[in-house]
């Protein structure tokens, strides 16, 4: 199973690298999001500046960041964890895309007529998508750091914190890629896939703490946002960025949640796929 | 002779009660080039899907190299190669990458695969194009690549679904040559479907005519043609003369018709009998004004066994059957 999964994953990645437009968009889009959301929608700029002197305004902004945004030095710093989570959600959403095309062009039949493990068809798409998401997320992370007045890491931030951030994002991506690959397993049309992705993506995003803190939401939405895996990933990432050299116990709950999320969806998605690929 | 494929009373009914394959039985011997001939929607692709484990069998039994298709699908998969009807080569990979990927999926060790890939590329004349993306290939090149991708694990049987569909006449002839070469030199048993009568005639040792899910006739193209009574020699003599008894006495002659000075002689193999006929006519002091020989085509055979023209427009029923089957293929 490993040889086959690896061979098929490499196929996906080769095809990805050979389509520069898709690589470019995967990198460019989240950067635009950071720039746009971080600047245009910066909630601390929403208070009318005429109500107080500039010194008082600065204080008000600082206290908003302190209270609402968990002591982030600026909104972009708060936002980065959210945008990284969102980037992985969006790349995962189309993890089943190549399956739909393979089914359409008859390639899937050729795979099914070969003595490969059915799970490798599922796992190869999932792993390839995780790679396709993780590479841009690394680049976005460093890009956010280099923007003027951009992402500011806590001075005590260590390499371990960095690794934990990417472990968090990896788990999120693994879970969502499994979910979306399994959904696409029996689809014959791109249109159906796009419809499902559109149906799920934005609600998943807005019912999470990716862009705004949970406390600013009504109670019913808070209830959803608190169990949304995107919130868990965004919060954990954010805690690591803002506080640095974190005591592992603070994010342990989030990490455990994400490990369970990834494990359950990978296993369930794999089983669902094997059933979906059975001969009629 | 070993039987490579054995099919007994095979039936496939798709959801919605569409009978795509209706109680067919046949055997394919080792080393044969077996053709499944029939119009669109006859059940050819479904039969291939059943034999290659891509569709489940409703009733009946099929074995490939002794492995039961429904009980030991993985054993079957390991020992067969497939050239599907659709072009399933990955356009965004290079020629050699496509084959190496297949080699990995079939667990062919790397050093063995490399040598085989070189040989196979050489065989179909793609050595120079191997390092190019398949998206730059012509239709014929893709089909050639498709042929060898299914062979990298050295299967004993190769299933080909409409191998020359959509290719121009020249390219088709080239593909035919490659298919013959694979069959004879690599000793691969080939099961192929086609809706080109001339293709079955030119290539196959044995052909089965399938129509509306049923096998209507099978045998070598020669045997099939004999169904309609063999070949016809038409001889026009310079003057009228009664040679009825002489013609009837020649070996293989089935029927002699006389119309004035013209005779129509129906027999198995015209070429074999012509010298004896000519000698006999001259020995009797008669001269020949004209001689022609007509061989029955598989078109005529098809008409004979199915009661309809092969090339007639697809009937509404056949068209809707086909649509249903395609929809189910997904």
User: C-alpha angle B180/B115/A1, rounded to 5°?
Assistant: 100
A112/B82 CB distance under 8 A: no
Lookup: tokens for A119 = 């799970």
pLDDT band at B313; cut points 50, 70, 90: very low
- Which residue is closest to B52 within chain A, CA to CA? A113
| Partners of A21 in beta bridges | none
Residues of A in contact with B136 (CB under 8 A): none
Q: By the CB < 8 Å criterion, does A39 face chain B?
A: no
- Nearest-CA distance from B148 to chain A in Å? 14
* Nearest CA among A167, A132, A152, A13 for reference residue A69: A152
Architecture of the CATH domain B229-294: 2-Layer Sandwich (3.30)
What percent of chain A is predicted at pLDDT more than 90?
49
Report pLDDT digits (tens) over A226-236.
999 999 999 99
ipTM above 0.90, yes or no: no
Of B14, B85, B105, the CB nearest to A114: B105
Instruction: Pick out chain A residues at pLDDT < 50.
Output: none
Architecture of the CATH domain B3-224: 3-Layer(aba) Sandwich (3.40)
Lookup: tokens for A233 = 């990933």
The backbone region for B258, taken as left when phi is positive above 0, alpha when psi lies in -120 to 50, beta otherwise, is beta
- Which residue is closest to A98 within chain B, CA to CA? B90
pLDDT of residue B97: 94
d(CA A249, CA A8): 38
A4/B105 CB distance under 8 A: yes
Burial grade of A110 (CB within 10 A; 0-12, 13-18, 19 or more): buried
For an interface test with A, give the residue of B18, B91, B92, B133 to mutate (most A CBs within 10 A): B92
What does the domain layout of chain B look like in residue ranges? 3-224, 229-294
Residue B309 pLDDT exceeds 80: no
Report pLDDT digits (tens) over B132-174.
999 999 988 998 899 889 889 999 999 999 988 888 888 888 8
């Amino acid at each position: 199973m490993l040889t086959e999964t690896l061979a098929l994953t490499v196929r996906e990645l080769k095809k990805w690298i050979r389509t520069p437009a898709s690589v470019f968009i995967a990198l460019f889009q989240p950067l635009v999001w950071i720039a746009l959301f971080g600047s245009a929608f910066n909630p601390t700029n929403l208070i009318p500046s005429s109500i107080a002197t500039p010194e008082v305004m600065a204080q008000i902004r600082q206290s908003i960041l302190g209270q609402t945004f968990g002591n982030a030095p600026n909104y972009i710093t708060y936002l980065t964890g959210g945008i990284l989570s969102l980037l992985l959600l969006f790349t995962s959403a189309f993890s089943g895309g190549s399956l739909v095309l393979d089914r359409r062009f008859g390639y899937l039949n050729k795979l099914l007529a070969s003595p490969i493990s059915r799970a490798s068809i599922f796992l190869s798409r999932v792993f390839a998508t995780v790679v396709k998401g993780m590479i841009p997320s690394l680049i976005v992370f460093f890009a956010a750091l280099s923007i003027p007045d951009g992402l500011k890491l806590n001075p005590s931030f260590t390499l371990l914190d960095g690794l934990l951030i990417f472990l968090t994002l990896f788990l999120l991506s693994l879970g969502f890629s499994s979910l979306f690959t399994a959904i696409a397993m029996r689809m014959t049309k791109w249109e159906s896939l796009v419809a499902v992705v559109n149906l799920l993506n934005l609600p998943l995003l807005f019912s999470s703490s990716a862009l705004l803190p949970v406390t600013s939401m009504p109670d019913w939405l808070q209830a959803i946002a608190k169990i949304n895996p995107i919130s868990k990933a965004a919060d954990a990432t954010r805690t690591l960025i803002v506080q640095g050299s974190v005591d592992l116990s603070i994010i342990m709950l989030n990490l455990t949640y994400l490990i369970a999320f990834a494990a359950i969806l990978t296993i369930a998605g794999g089983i669902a796929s094997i059933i979906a690929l059975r001969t009629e | 002779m070993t039987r490579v494929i054995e099919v007994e009373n095979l039936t496939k009914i798709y959801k919605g009660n569409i009978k795509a394959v209706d109680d067919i039985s046949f055997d394919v011997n080792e080393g044969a080039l077996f053709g499944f001939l029939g119009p669109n929607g006859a059940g050819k692709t479904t039969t291939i899907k059943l034999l290659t484990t891509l569709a489940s069998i409703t009733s009946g039994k099929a074995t490939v190299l002794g492995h039961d298709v429904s009980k030991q699908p993985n054993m079957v998969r390991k020992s067969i190669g497939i050239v599907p009807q659709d072009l399933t080569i990955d356009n965004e990979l290079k020629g050699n990458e496509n084959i190496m990927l297949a080699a990995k999926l079939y667990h062919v060790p790397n050093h063995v695969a490399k040598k085989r890939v070189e040989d196979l590329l050489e065989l179909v004349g793609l050595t120079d194009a191997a390092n190019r993306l398949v998206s730059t290939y012509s239709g014929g090149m893709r089909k050639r690549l498709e042929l060898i991708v299914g062979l990298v694990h050295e299967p004993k049987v190769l299933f080909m679904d409409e191998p020359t569909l959509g290719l121009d006449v020249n390219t088709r002839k080239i593909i035919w040559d490659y298919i013959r070469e694979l069959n004879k030199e690599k000793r691969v048993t080939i099961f192929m479907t086609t809706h080109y009568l001339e293709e079955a005639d030119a290539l196959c040792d044995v052909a089965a005519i399938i129509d509306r899910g049923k096998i209507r006739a099978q045998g070598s193209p020669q045997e099939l043609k004999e169904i309609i009574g063999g070949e016809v020699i038409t001889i026009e003599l310079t003057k009228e003369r009664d040679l009825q008894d002489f013609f009837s006495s020649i070996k293989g002659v089935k029927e002699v018709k006389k119309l004035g000075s013209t005779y129509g002689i129906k027999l198995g193999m015209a070429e074999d009998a012509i010298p004896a006929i000519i000698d006999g006519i001259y020995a009797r002091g008669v001269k020949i004004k004209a001689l022609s020989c007509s061989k029955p085509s598989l078109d005529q055979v098809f008409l004979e066994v199915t009661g309809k023209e092969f090339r007639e427009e697809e009937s509404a029923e056949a068209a809707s059957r086909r649509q249903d089957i395609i929809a189910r293929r997904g």
